[in-house]
């Protein structure tokens, strides 16, 4: 007969853990609302501060994970509120921007929050069986990584609905690959050591082109209604599919949430919609935090900047406690994104939009300089020019992830 399991409760320790999770969550709220602050750069900033933070390494690690999770909830807000183009440019806008232009920004925020929260709740019970399957397949995938990534790139380009889009996707991927091959391995001198050239690369490829078009835009129109008009079944199925896709992002280098979301929307009935995209990308982005944690335990590889920084804390891999911190942070992030997201949209809607766009562009330039020095400004400018290609040829921006996939595929 098995021995009974004794559950020991230590209120003081529990309260201490909750305090660290709350502190990390508040930090994640602040970072998530800063446009252009990539999660990896944020993580490396944390890593630079962590050694001087007094506290048990396990709790410090829980705070870092909580910050990373909440960041994935809140970063959807500036992505929707900033860079909204003019109505005539809606066809080339991102799905979240199109919903904002339709006056459905509050609904988009709730869809994003639901996608992230449901993905967290689904990823926790799925993590063990999915990790077992992926771990078994990982040696084969690692051996044939170039082929796997090449298949992903071909599938993305082939999924464009028009010939012009496919050609534009191929050109965008090739240009981004060339940029990544040159820029990723650079180690420029910079005021802050926070993750190398990722900041100017991602800010230029994905942030600046949207803001440039938004300078001539009419800004955030009046938003109407908070009701989610999509069925619960659709939201739930898309979020769970996003959670499963997050496992791929957690284990396979170079694959982003946007790429995984494209695959999710291809298999979910009626998934090819703006609302489906918002739910899927949020689900993938957040669940990736959990699956990446299991990947660290299973194969010893930190797949996100947050977990690279987490390793620097020397925190023990106490999965039950770490998962509890992640789930608590997810619940807090769900509330925070709705409360702060609505207020964020309202505040941006009351300001002069061209001034906001110019100010955010200046902030992206400043971040590029802080993280990569003068060289970062040049990388940002080149990345911005390449980032305009899919906007002008009207193909998906996800092809720009060639900046990571291409060099990995070519073994550079």
pLDDT in tens, 240-254: 888 888 877 777 776
- What pLDDT is recorded for position 39? 62
Task: Kindly report the average pLDDT of the chain as a whole number.
Answer: 82
pLDDT above 80 for 62: yes
Q: What pTM was computed for the model? A: 0.81
Q: How confident is the model at residue 5 (pLDDT cuts 50, 70, 90)?
A: very low
Q: What pLDDT does residue 145 have?
A: 85
What pLDDT, on a 0 to 100 scale, did the predictor assign at position 179? 95
Query: Residue 297 falls within a domain, yes or no?
Result: yes
* Position 314 in a domain: yes
pLDDT one-digit tens code per residue, 200-226: 888 888 888 878 877 776 677 888 888
Residue 40 pLDDT > 70: no
Tell me: pLDDT of 34 over 70: yes
Better-scored residue on pLDDT, 88 or 193 = 193
- Per the model's pLDDT, the better-predicted residue between 335 and 305 turns out to be 335
CA angle 254, 256, 257 (to 5 degrees): 160
- pLDDT for 41 equals 62
Please write the tens of the pLDDT for every residue from 106-118: 999 999 999 999 9
Answer yes or no: is 77 within a domain: yes
pLDDT score, position 90 = 47
pLDDT band at residue 288 using 50, 70 and 90 as cut-offs: confident
Side-chain-side CA neighbours of residue 47 (13 Å):
20
Q: What's the pLDDT at 269?
A: 61
> By mean pLDDT, which of 293-297, 311-315, 401-405 is the weakest?
311-315
Task: Please give the tally of structural domains in the chain.
Answer: 1
4 in any annotated domain: no
Residue 3 has pLDDT above 60, yes or no: no
What is the tens place of the pLDDT at every residue in 114-168?
Answer: 999 999 898 888 888 888 887 788 788 888 888 988 998 998 899 888 999 999 9
Residue 233 has pLDDT above 60, yes or no: yes
Asked whether residue 193 is domain-assigned, the answer is yes
pLDDT above 90 as % of the chain: 18
Q: How confident is the model at residue 278, as a pLDDT? A: 87
User: Which residues form the domain of 197?
Assistant: 13-410
Whether residue 181 is predicted with pLDDT greater than 90 in this model: the reply is: yes
């Amino acid at each position: 007969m098995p021995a009974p399991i004794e559950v020991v409760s230590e209120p003081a320790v529990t309260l201490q853990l909750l305090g660290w999770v709350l502190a990390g969550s508040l930090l994640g709220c602040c970072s998530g609302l800063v446009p252009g602050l990539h999660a990896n750069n944020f993580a490396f900033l944390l890593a630079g501060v962590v050694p001087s933070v007094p506290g048990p390494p396990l709790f410090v690690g829980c705070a870092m994970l909580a910050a990373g999770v909440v960041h994935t909830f809140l970063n959807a807000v500036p992505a929707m509120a900033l860079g909204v183009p003019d109505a005539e440019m809606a066809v080339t806008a991102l799905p979240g921007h199109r919903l904002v232009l339709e006056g459905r920004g509050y609904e988009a925020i709730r869809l994003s929050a639901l996608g992230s929260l449901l993905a967290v709740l689904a990823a926790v019970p799925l993590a063990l069986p999915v990790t077992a399957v992926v771990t078994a397949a990982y040696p084969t995938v690692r051996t044939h990584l170039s082929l796997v990534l090449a298949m992903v790139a071909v599938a993305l380009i082939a999924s464009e609905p028009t010939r012009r889009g496919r050609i534009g996707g191929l050109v965008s991927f090739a240009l981004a690959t060339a940029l990544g091959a040159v820029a990723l391995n650079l180690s420029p001198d910079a005021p802050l050591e926070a993750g190398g050239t990722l900041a100017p690369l991602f800010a230029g490829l994905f942030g600046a082109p949207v803001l440039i078009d938004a300078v001539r835009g009419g800004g955030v129109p009046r938003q109407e209604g908070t009701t989610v008009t999509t069925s619960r079944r659709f939201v739930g199925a898309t979020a769970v599919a996003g959670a499963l896709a997050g496992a791929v992002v957690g284990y396979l280098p170079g694959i982003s949430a946007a790429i995984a979301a494209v695959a999710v929307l291809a298999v979910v009935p009626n998934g090819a919609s703006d609302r489906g995209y918002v739910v899927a990308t949020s689900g993938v982005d957040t669940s990736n935090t959990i699956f990446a944690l299991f990947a660290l335990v299973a194969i010893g590889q930190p797949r996100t900047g947050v977990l690279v920084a987490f390793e620097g804390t020397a925190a023990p891999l106490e999965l039950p406690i770490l998962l509890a911190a992640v789930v608590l942070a997810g619940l807090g992030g769900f509330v925070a994104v709705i409360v702060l997201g609505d207020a964020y949209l309202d505040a941006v809607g009351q300001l002069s939009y061209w001034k906001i766009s110019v100010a955010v562009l200046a902030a992206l330039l400043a971040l590029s300089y802080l993280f990569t020095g003068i060289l970062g400004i040049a990388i940002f400018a080149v990345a911005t020019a390449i980032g305009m290609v899919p906007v002008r040829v009207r193909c998906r921006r996800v092809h720009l992830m060639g900046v990571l996939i291409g060099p990995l595929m070519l073994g550079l």
